[in-house]
Amino acid sequence: MLTPSPVWGSWLPSRPRQISSLQHRPFWPRTMDFSSGAMMKSLLVFLWAIAFVGYGNYAAGAEEPLPGPDTTGATAVEEEDPFFKVPVNKLAAAVSNFGYDLYRQKSSESPTTNVLLSPLSVATALSALSLGADPKTQSTIHRALYYDLITNQDIHSTYKELLATVTAAQKNLKSASRIVLEKKLRIKAAFITPLDKSYGMRPRILTGNSRTDLQEMNNWIQGQMKGKILQSSRALPSDVSILLFSVAHFKGQWLTKFDSKKTSLQDFHLDEDRTIRVPMMSDPRAILRYGLDSDLNCKIAQLPLSGSMSIIFFLPMKVTQNLTQIEESLTSEFVHDIDRELKTIQAVLAVPKIQLSFDGEVTEMVKQLKLQSLFDSPDFSKITGKAIKITQVEHRAAFEWNEDGAGTTPGPSVQPSRLAFLLDYHLDKPFIFVLRDTDTGALLFVGKVLDPRGP
C-alpha cells in the first residue's frame, strides 16, 4: 500500500504548498512502507484487491500467490536515495515538482475538460529568466522551482545537461522555451551570454508590428517543432513587457507496438451516465508493470516507450471525473517510488488512441504558485536598466500515441511474474497519465483524459 512517509527522501524536506483552492497540504514524499505490520497489510491488500477487483478470469483450482512488493531494504531510513545523488536527477525532480504543482492548478481550473501540459518547457522559461533577476526576485523563482531545497551551486549548467538528455533524438520529444521582451528594450550582454550558454536561448525583442511579430513567432515555432504544431492566428498582446513562451510536442512509440488489426471501437465511460465509443488499441497478452494503491483507490500501470521513457497511468477503480485525490499525491518522489515498486505482469490491455493539444495562457496558474510578485514589481535589473515585469505566460503542447512501436515482442530480458490468472487493464474511464524520462526521472508531459476524443 502506498502511504505517506515523512522520513523517506530527506533530500526534499517537507514544506506546505498551496494547491489551487485547496487547503495547505504537507509536502510528504510517498513511498512503500515495509515495516513488518504495514508490509503484511500491503501484501494482503495487493493479493485480495487483485483477486476480487482486478477483473481477471480466475483459473479454477489455481493457488499460486501473486507477487508481493520487493522487501529489499525493509526499513525506511532518513537517507538520500542514490538516484537523487546524481545532480541532473535531483534537478529533474525539483522542476518536476513544479510541474505537478502547475498541473494541479490547471486541472482545478478545468474540472470537466481534458488537461495537457508539458511543464518542463514552462519551468525552463522561468529558470532561464531567473538569470536576469536580482537576489530577491531570483529567490522567488527558485522557490517555485524547488531550487531552494537542493544544494547544487551550478543549477544552470546542470539544467543544460538535463535539456540535452531529454531532447536527445531517440526521445521523440521536442521542447523549446523563449523570453520575449517589449520593443526597443536595451538588453545587457551579461544576461544574453549565460542565457545562450545554459539554455541555448536568445531573447526576442518585439518590433511593435503585430503582424510581423506574429509571423516571426510562428516561424520560430515551426523551426523548433519541425512543423509538428500548427501555426497560431492569435495576435501577440500589445502591452507585453515580458512574455514567457513555451512549446512542446511528443508522439510516443511503444517499446512493443500494438497490432492495428486488434484496434476497434469500444466503450469509454465519461461518467456513470454517459458512454461513448472510441478507437481502442488492444493487446490480449501485454507485458506491463502494475500495482494497486488502496489509499488512492486506483490501479497503476506503466508502459515502456522507446528512448528510455515510459508512461504511467492512474486509473480509478470507479468511473469518476473527480481525480483530485490522485492529483494531490503526485510528486517526483511518489512517482519515483512507483517506478521502483511496480511488478512486471502479463495483462489484457486496452488503451484508447490519443491526440491531445493545448494552446493558451497559463498566466493565472503560474501566479498561483507564489509567483504573483513577478507580475507586479520584480527586479530584473540584470536584463535591462528599465523596470520590466512578466505580463503573460503562453504555452502550446501537442501529444499523441497510436499503435506505433519499436518491436513486435518484448525483449528477452522481460520476464513477467506468474499469476494464477490474467489481469484486465482497460483505460475505459477517465484517467491521468504521466510521461516520464527514465534516465533522469523528469516529468515531460502530464495529462488528464476525461474524453479521449480530445482536444
Residue 7 lies in a domain: no
194 and 338 fall within a common domain: no
pTM listed for this prediction: 0.83
The count of domains in the chain is: 2
Q: Name which residue leads in pLDDT, 10 or 199.
A: 199
Residue 17 lies in a domain: no
* 316, 297 Cβ separation under 8 angstroms: yes
295 and 320 fall within a common domain: yes
Residue 281 lies in a domain: yes
344 and 322 fall within a common domain: yes
For 106, the grid coordinates are 490547471
Separation between Cα atoms, residue 114 and residue 116, nearest integer Å = 7
Separation between Cα atoms, residue 266 and residue 291, nearest integer Å = 24
- 139 φψ region: left (φ > 0), alpha (ψ -120 to 50), beta (else): alpha
Residue 80 lies in a domain: no
262 and 181 fall within a common domain: no
pLDDT value of residue 138? 97
191 and 239 fall within a common domain: yes
**Distances in whole angstroms, Cα of residue 354 to Cα of each of 166, 246, 250:** 22, 22, 12
* Strands ordered across the beta sheet of 390-401: 204-205, 173-181, 242-251, 390-401, 354-361
334 and 379 fall within a common domain: no
Mean pLDDT of the 375-389 span: 97
The secondary structure of 386-401, three-state, reads: CCCCEEEEEEEEEEEE
pLDDT value of residue 414? 57
Residue 40 lies in a domain: no
Separation between Cα atoms, residue 38 and residue 6, nearest integer Å = 15
For 437, the grid coordinates are 524520462
* 410, 286 Cβ separation under 8 angstroms: no
pLDDT value of residue 418? 61
89 and 137 fall within a common domain: yes
Sequence-distant (6+) residues with CB within 8 A of 241 are 181, 182, 388, 389, 390, 391
Q: DSSP letter at 35?
A: S
User: Which domain covers residue 136, as residue numbers?
Assistant: 85-252+359-400
Instruction: Encode pLDDT of 351-368 as tens digits.
Output: 999 999 999 999 999 999
- 9 φψ region: left (φ > 0), alpha (ψ -120 to 50), beta (else): left
Instruction: Encode pLDDT of 126-167 as tens digits.
Output: 999 999 999 999 999 999 999 999 987 899 999 999 999 999
pLDDT at 399 over 90: yes
Instruction: Encode pLDDT of 288-334 as tens digits.
Output: 999 999 999 999 999 999 999 999 999 999 999 999 999 999 999 99
The amino acid at residue 58 is Y
pLDDT value of residue 153? 80
185 and 274 fall within a common domain: no
Residue 333 lies in a domain: yes
pLDDT value of residue 379? 98
pLDDT category at 228 given cuts 50, 70, 90 is confident
pLDDT value of residue 2? 47
Find the CATH number of the domain harbouring 443: 2.30.39.10
pLDDT category at 234 given cuts 50, 70, 90 is confident
Q: What is the mean pLDDT of the chain?
A: 84
Specify the DSSP element, H or E, that contains 182: none
* 240, 216 Cβ separation under 8 angstroms: no
Residue 128 lies in a domain: yes
Separation between Cα atoms, residue 29 and residue 80, nearest integer Å = 12
For 364, the grid coordinates are 493565472
pLDDT value of residue 419? 59
103 and 242 fall within a common domain: yes
150 and 199 fall within a common domain: yes
308 and 439 fall within a common domain: yes
pLDDT value of residue 72? 46
pLDDT category at 285 given cuts 50, 70, 90 is very high
pLDDT value of residue 319? 95
Whose CA is closest to 292, among 316, 269, 323, 268?
316
Find the CATH number of the domain harbouring 91: 3.30.497.10
Residue 234 lies in a domain: yes
Instruction: Encode pLDDT of 30-85 as tens digits.
Output: 333 323 334 333 433 443 344 334 433 333 333 334 444 444 444 444 577 899 99
290 and 323 fall within a common domain: yes
